[in-house]
Each structure stands twice: as structure tokens, then as C-alpha cells.
Structure 1
Amino acid sequence: MEKEAAGEARESHGTARKRARSGGGGGEDFITRLPDDILGIIISLLPTKDGDRTPVLSRQWRHLWRSAPLNLEVSTRPPGAAGPVPTPSRVPPSAVSQIISQHHGPARRFSFHCRGAGDLCAQAESWLHSRALASLEELDIAYASPRLLASVLRSVSTTILAAKINGCHFPGEIVPAMNFPNLKKLTLFHTSISEDVLHALLSGCHALESLYMAQVSAAGRLRVSSPTLRTIIFSHSSSEMAQLVILDAPRLVRLLLPYYYGSDRVTIRVVRAPMLEILGPFIAAVSNILLFQGISPVSSANSMRTVKVLALRSSADKLHAVLNILRWFPCLERLHVTFGKHHDMDQQNEPQHDPLHPIECLETHLKKVVFKPFEGYGKQVDFARFFVLNAKVLDKIEFEAYNHYGIEMVGYEHKLLQVENRASRHARFVFKTISSDWVPCQ
């Protein structure tokens, strides 16, 4: 009896393991047991070629490809053309008409890069007016002619949720009449657009939450007014003059400036953004980089009290430039400083910090400071030591370095930083190693 019981126990245990591996009884796996609408969403997130292969996985999947939301990526790179190799997930133009004629589900995304496409631009217009692409949600179009771009925007204006437009010129006579009631995310990259057309375009976006502009060429200023925008990302490093003006953005929370080198060719003004909390990074120079309407370094009454997080790029010997900027943000809670060999415009004329006029955020609000890359000697130590000795409510200071800090090195840095004399007695000091793929901005 004991042997039989032991055998039954082993058999039961083995059956349980098989069921666990198969996802439960009946030999079904967890993916197969998902509802068809969920499986359709999963397939729609795959590139076109990969989605087309899913019917071979299971008989139950054969109908899903044709009914799942379509993710169509079209390759228009001519055979033997120079340049980067296109992604293998893109389908050739010759296959597009067949795909959209046989696909019975809605369209989720259409990606079409027109460089070298020639006569395909006219064919692309017919694709976008087809029934299969009638409810398009995401658009990625590049190097389109003004005529094609205008046609594309007309065809998707009522359904589009996210649009990325690259290497195009906006036609001025078309955009003012457009209406995008559902567009939430707009990306303009290497795009030419006039001041009036951009203003009209944004006026037609009634649900826009995110605007990303990189290398945008405009005849005049880039004026932004939007009652719905929460994030603006602006990147500019070309030789052209650029002026970004945030005229009225009552819900704007983040103004991000990636890869912004800060030269006298660029001016950023914020006229009205009463909810702005996150700003930067920009180079720590007072005079020409960032201009806020009605703000001066010596007037706390007109300062940006809403900003809680600020990122700056600075040379280690530009402490006074950073401190003068901090006067603008009296309620700042987090400061991120990236050290590098920056070319500040006002290196010789930067006003010195006056210790008789305390910086409000250092007295009452600043809780966290991050320095990277922190090499642990010279001017960087002097720079960091100022915050150790003067930030009175700090919770944490992070030092991000290329090399690992051992116990002895950390103790040595504590001594240089005068940690025992820190203004905030409960402040913690954390040393982290920067990953090998992090590249500092020079």
C-alpha cells in the first residue's frame, strides 16, 4: 500500500508539473487563452512582416492577422541605394495594395518614408484614402512632398492620435483649415514650417498633450499657445537662429531641452506657463539662454515659483552662474548638474554670488542634488562642497561617476566635501557608477 501511495504521489506530482508548464488544464498555454481582442492588440504592435507570420503559430491565430489593427511599415529604399540598411520589418511598396485589400480590421499605424520613392507618392495618397486606413491612429511620414503631406493630414485629421513628421515642408495654404480633435502627440523633426502655420496647426489640435520639435526651421519665431499641452521637448543645435516662445500654456508641466548646447543663436522665452514644474537641461549662463517674461535674477517677486525640478549643464568652475540661476527658482526641490567642457557665452562677465543675499531654495526647499560625471577632484569638489555646506534641507546628494568608488575613496571624498560640517544633518551621500554607454555632452 505504501508503494502504491508513493507511486500515485509521484504521478500526481508529475501531472501537476506538466499542467504548470502548459499553463493549466487542457494543455493550453496562457497566450492562447487570451481573448481575441487582446491577441489582436498584441499582433498590432508587431511590425508588418512579423504580424503576417503569426498565423503559423496556431490554427486559432489564422483569422487574427486579418482582423487585428494593422501596423503597416513601407520600405521605399531603392535597390542598391547608399545609406543605412532599412529595417527588415518593412514591406516593399509592391505588397502594400494586396495587404490593405485583404485586411479587414482597423488600421493602427502607417509608416512611409518617401526618400527616393519617386512616383510612389501618388500611390501613397491612394493607400491613405483606402477603407483599410480610414481609422488610422498613428502616422510616421518622412520626406514627403508638400502636396502629399497635405493630403495625408487631410485623410487622417479626425482619427489620428500620434503623428511624426520628418524632413517635410509644411504647405502654408492648407494647414490653417485643419482640425485634429484627437491628436495627443506631435513630433516635428528636420521640418520646415512658418510661424503662422505652426500657430494655426497647434490651434487645430484640441487634445494635444506632447509636442516634440527637433531641428525645426521656421521663418520667424516658434510660437506655442495651447490649452492642453503638458510636455514640450525642444532640440536645436544647427547654425540657424531659433526663438521658441511659450505664449500661453496653462497646463504645461515639462519643458525639456535635450541636446541643447546653448548659444546666442537660440532664445527661449516663457510668457505664461503657471504649472511648469520640470525644466532643462540648459547651459548655466544667465544672459542669453533662458528668458522668462518679467523675471530678473535679483527679483524674487517675479520668479518661477512653480518649477520643482531643474537640470543644468555647467563647467565645474561656473558655480556663480548656477547660483544666479537658482535665484529664479525659489521653490526648487531637485537639481541635476551635468559637468562638461561647455562654452558659456559670459564666462568673464558672470556676476558673483553675494552671500549676503541668501538663495531661497537652498534655505527651504532643495531636497536632492545630482552631480555627473563626478571625478572627485579640483573644481568639481569645490562646486559640490558649496551645496554640502549651504543647502539646509537636503535629503540626498548623488555623485555619479565612471569609476566605482570603494570604501576608502568614499571616505576620502567625504573629507574633501567636509561632510561633517554639512548644513543638513540628515543629508545622505550616495556614490553611483555611470553605465558604460552614457555619453556626456561636451
Structure 2
Amino acid sequence: MKKKKGNVAVSAAAAGPAPKKREPHGTARKRGRRSDAGDLISRLPDAILGTIISLLPTKDGGRTQALSRRWRHLWRSAPLNLQVSLCQNTAVPVPAARTIISRHAGPARRFCFPCLRAGRVTCAELESWLHSRALAGLQELDISYGHYSAPAGTSYPLPPSVLLHSAPTLLVARISDCDFPDQIAPTVNFPLLKHLSLLYVSISGKVFHGLLSACRSLESLYMSKFRSVDSLCVSSPTLRTIAFQGSAKVELVIEDAPNLERLLIPESERDDCVTIRVISAPKLKILGPYSPDFHKIRIFQGMMSPVSSANSMHTLKVLALRSSGHGLHTVLNVLRGFPCLERLYVIFYKHHEMDKKNEAWHDPLFPIECLKTYLRKVVLKSYVGYDEQQVGFARFFVLNAKVENRASRDAQFEFRSNCYWTDSQINKCIHDFSVADPFRHP
């Protein structure tokens, strides 16, 4: 028996390993697919992997070096996404930024630096950064002095190098909390810049005009809390969206904007009196939201005349208004200036300073054209069903809005709970043209 066992053992060894157990049908194939799927992303070309890394926050992008040997060299050659800060978890501190800039081979996709005056970086060092190969080919720039800790009356000039060195390749720029220089260099040109945000800046009308003239491809412009004593005149053949947030005693004049489609007006923190004059915007379709109750925003069509039945905008299709709920007649008088309006949004809010006696009464002898022809959708936001004034709003449009000379007998009502209005919805849509209607709730 022992001999036989030995013979059997020798024979088995010579024959090779024992046959494996047969697995259920398809199990081996599925396991093979799973093992392949775990490594498919590493099979992508370096250029695609570099693009993926450049979309990650700075720290996360750097950590990809630890994934495997395949990924070790990618971050240093991928388009740089550098966010510098003193406290943010996803950003890197200034010393680490110095190391990255000295070692990265470029090019750069994004440079975010919201701590200019923190005392850690001088203007000379910032200029050397912008000259470095790490920030060559910069596409997105976000630079700020940070208004949250600025002493009152303090002025922080924007370093000229910020505009000069990155201008040829920029696609997106956000500049805030600084003073623009008295003049823009005549050689500055932004041939590719599409999206520009200027927040809490001090700028003269002349410099503002020169800046826009240098933007040959600009599609969206966001302006907030300007400090300027001049009128801000906009002439641009490419602009499609303008967002203008209240700035005390600043007048916005849209002189010539042949492709402007959206004029967005996020709410101001203060009751600033803002005047907007639309002289030439033949494609303007979307406007608001502004409050006609208090005349914070005054919309003019042409040089001098406010929008009215005698001076109307026939191109406007979507309008958003803020109302205290007591201003039905004020809203109706506004509608006279937009005879082709298709969608109306009314955002209700409470304001204790509302004086009902100052409201201009709507005269039913002068009908509102959009109610008879084009207006098909009215949305009341922050609607409270037990508020008599708001109920009156709804009742009026149901009884008086007509299409093809018949009352709205087949009107459909949709009620949503917790559908609150926030201006952050508008801010997200300023540079996003995939959103057809920025006032529509998801």
C-alpha cells in the first residue's frame, strides 16, 4: 500500500497540479471582468488622466501620485490646479505653493489665490509666480484680497502683472476686493476670455470701458458692489449675459449689446438705488428679479424713458419680480412694458417699510397686452395660501390672463412645499448657458 501510494504521488507530481474544481457557468468570466474594470482608468492616455487630475482640488491631485507607479509622474506634468489659502482644507498653504511652483513643469489650468494681503507673499513674488513655467498657459484666474477682514477705507491696488502675464490664455477670470489701476495698458488683450466676474472692486468708467474692449470673446459678465463715481457703459458684440448686483449710486448703461439675452439682477444687501438703462439690446429675453415696490432698480428703455406701454420691450419673454404681496397694481403696471411676455415669476417677501399709499393704481381701461396674447405661465414663489394679498395675486391672473380671447378655464395649478427662493440659484446660472431659465426651480 505504501508503494502504491508513493507511486501515485510520483505519478501525480509528474502529471502537474491537480485539476481545479469546475466553477458555475460564467463565474470565471465575471471575475475576469471585475479585475479588468479596476484598472481600466489607468489604461487611459496620459493626456486624459492629466485632465482628470487637473479638475481635482490641489491636495487631492497631489495625492494621486501614491496610487501606483503608473500615476507617480502624472500630477507633475498635468495642467496645474493650484488653490492657495491660509485655512481651507482643499487648498495648500503658501510654503507648499512655493514648492509646487518651483517644481511643476506646467502648463496651468487654474490659479486661485484669495489671500493677497496676508503678508506672506509680496507683489514681487507674485509676479515671479506668474512668470514661472508652472503657471504658463493659465486658463482660470481667481484672485482676491479678501473683503472679510479689510479695515474701513483701506485701498488695495491690483498688481498690474496679474493682467499682463496671464491675459493671452485666460478663459475665466474672477477678481475681487481690490482697486483697478488708473489705466489699462494699451497692449493688454484678452482674446479668449469668456467669463469675467468683478466683485467689490473700485474701477473708473474709463478703465472699465478699456477692460471690456480688450475682451474680444466675452460671453458673461458678473458685476457686484462696484465702487465707482462714473456710469458703467457696456458695449460688447459678444456678451450674452450680464449680472449686476446693486451698487450705491452706480448707473449701468447697456449701450450696444447685440447678442445680450439675459440681464440678471441678484438682490442687494442694502436698499441701493440702482439705475439700469438699456439703449440697445435687441435680443434681450430674460430680466430680473428686481423689486418695483421700492424702485431700487429702475429699468429704462432708450436714453431717457422708463419701460412702459409707450416704450416697451417686445423681445422680453421671461420676467422675475420681487413683491411684498401688496403690490399687485405695481406689478401690473410693470407688465405694460413687456407685451410679449410668456413667463412671469413673482417672488414674495416681507418688507415692513412698504407704504401701500404710494402704489400707482392699475387702470383696467388700459389693458395689459401680454395677458391677452402670450403670458402662459405665472409662478408665485414663497406663496402662503392664507395671505389674502397673495391669494389676490393668484386670483387676478387666473381670471384675467387670456390666450386666444378666452379665460383660463383649463388652468393647471401645481403646489410645491419648501420651494424657497435663493439668489444663489441665479449666481450658479450667470456663467452657465445650459440653463435656459435661471428662475425655474429644479
TM range (shorter): 0.7 to 0.9
Q: Distance in 2 between matches of 1:262 and 1:355?
A: 34
1:322 aligns with 2:331: yes
Q: Which of these residues, 229, 234, 241, is aligned with residue 219 of structure 1?
A: 229
After TM superposition, the structure 1 stretch with the greater mean CA deviation from structure 2, 362-371 or 90-99, is 90-99
5 Å matches for 1:203-282? Answer: 203-236=213-246, 240-260=248-268, 263=271, 265-282=273-290
Q: Which of these residues, 12, 18, 21, is aligned with residue 25 of structure 2?
A: 12
In structure 2, relative to structure 1, the CA distance for the partners of 1:103 and 1:183 (3 Å cut) is: same
Q: Distance in 2 between matches of 1:173 and 1:437?
A: 40
Please state whether the residue corresponding to 1:126 is helix, strand or coil. helix
Q: Distance in 2 between matches of 1:334 and 1:151?
A: 46
Query: Aligned letter for 1:138?
Result: E
Which residue of structure 1 lines up, in the alignment, with residue 135 of structure 2? Answer: 133
In structure 2, relative to structure 1, the CA distance for the partners of 1:374 and 1:20 (3 Å cut) is: farther
Which residue of structure 2 lines up, in the alignment, with residue 403 of structure 1? Answer: none
Please state whether the residue corresponding to 1:168 is helix, strand or coil. strand
Which residue of structure 2 lines up, in the alignment, with residue 425 of structure 1? Answer: 409
1:164 aligns with 2:174: yes
Please state whether the residue corresponding to 1:232 is helix, strand or coil. strand
The alignment covers a number of residue pairs equal to 392
In structure 2, relative to structure 1, the CA distance for the partners of 1:54 and 1:223 (3 Å cut) is: same
Tell me the TM-score normalized by structure 1.
Answer: 0.82
In structure 2, relative to structure 1, the CA distance for the partners of 1:119 and 1:45 (3 Å cut) is: closer
Contact persistence 2:84–2:112 (CA under 8 A): yes
1:263 deviates by: 4.4
1:436 deviates by: 7.4
In structure 2, relative to structure 1, the CA distance for the partners of 1:440 and 1:108 (3 Å cut) is: closer
Contact persistence 2:328–2:393 (CA under 8 A): yes
In structure 2, relative to structure 1, the CA distance for the partners of 1:318 and 1:27 (3 Å cut) is: closer
In structure 2, relative to structure 1, the CA distance for the partners of 1:19 and 1:333 (3 Å cut) is: farther
Q: Deviations over 1:400-433 (max 9, x none)?
A: xxxxxxxxxxxxxxxxxxxxxx922332110111
Q: Deviations over 1:366-389 (max 9, x none)?
A: 111110111102111011100011
Q: Deviations over 1:349-398 (max 9, x none)?
A: 3321122222111111011111011110211101110001111139xxxx
Q: Which of these residues, 383, 395, 401, is aligned with residue 391 of structure 1?
A: 401
1:304 aligns with 2:313: yes
Contact persistence 1:329–1:361 (CA under 8 A): yes
Q: Which of these residues, 142, 145, 163, is aligned with residue 144 of structure 2?
A: 142
Q: Which of these residues, 350, 359, 366, is aligned with residue 368 of structure 2?
A: 359
In structure 2, relative to structure 1, the CA distance for the partners of 1:184 and 1:436 (3 Å cut) is: closer
1:12 deviates by: 3.2
5 Å matches for 1:17-416? Answer: 17-22=30-35, 26=36, 28-75=38-85, 77=86, 86-113=87-114, 114-117=116-119, 119-143=121-145, 149-236=159-246, 240-260=248-268, 263=271, 265-285=273-293, 289-294=297-302, 295-296=305-306, 299-300=309-310, 302-342=311-351, 347-377=356-386, 378-393=388-403
Q: Distance in 2 between matches of 1:345 and 1:224?
A: 33
Query: Aligned letter for 1:11?
Result: P
1:440 deviates by: 11
After TM superposition, the structure 1 stretch with the greater mean CA deviation from structure 2, 58-67 or 339-348, is 339-348
Q: Distance in 2 between matches of 1:282 and 1:103?
A: 47
1:27 deviates by: 5.5
1:120 deviates by: 2.8
Query: Aligned letter for 2:337?
Result: W
Which residue of structure 2 lines up, in the alignment, with residue 419 of structure 1? Answer: none
Query: Aligned letter for 1:245?
Result: V
1:122 deviates by: 1.7
In structure 2, relative to structure 1, the CA distance for the partners of 1:201 and 1:70 (3 Å cut) is: same
1:288 deviates by: 6.3
Q: Distance in 2 between matches of 1:272 and 1:29?
A: 56
Q: Deviations over 1:154-205 (max 9, x none)?
A: 0011111111111110001335542111111111111110111001100110
After TM superposition, the structure 1 stretch with the greater mean CA deviation from structure 2, 318-327 or 264-273, is 264-273
Tell me the TM-score normalized by structure 2.
Answer: 0.82
In structure 2, relative to structure 1, the CA distance for the partners of 1:437 and 1:353 (3 Å cut) is: closer
Which residue of structure 1 lines up, in the alignment, with residue 18 of structure 2? Answer: none
Q: Distance in 2 between matches of 1:173 and 1:202?
A: 13
In structure 2, relative to structure 1, the CA distance for the partners of 1:209 and 1:359 (3 Å cut) is: same
Q: Distance in 2 between matches of 1:362 and 1:191?
A: 41
Which residue of structure 2 lines up, in the alignment, with residue 415 of structure 1? Answer: none
Contact persistence 2:245–2:267 (CA under 8 A): yes
Please state whether the residue corresponding to 2:95 is helix, strand or coil. helix
Q: Distance in 2 between matches of 1:436 and 1:337?
A: 12
Q: Distance in 2 between matches of 1:355 and 1:317?
A: 18
1:140 deviates by: 0.7
Gaps in structure 1 of 5+ consecutive residues: 1-6, 78-85, 395-421
Query: Aligned letter for 1:340?
Result: Y
RMSD (Å) for aligned C-alpha atoms:
2.7
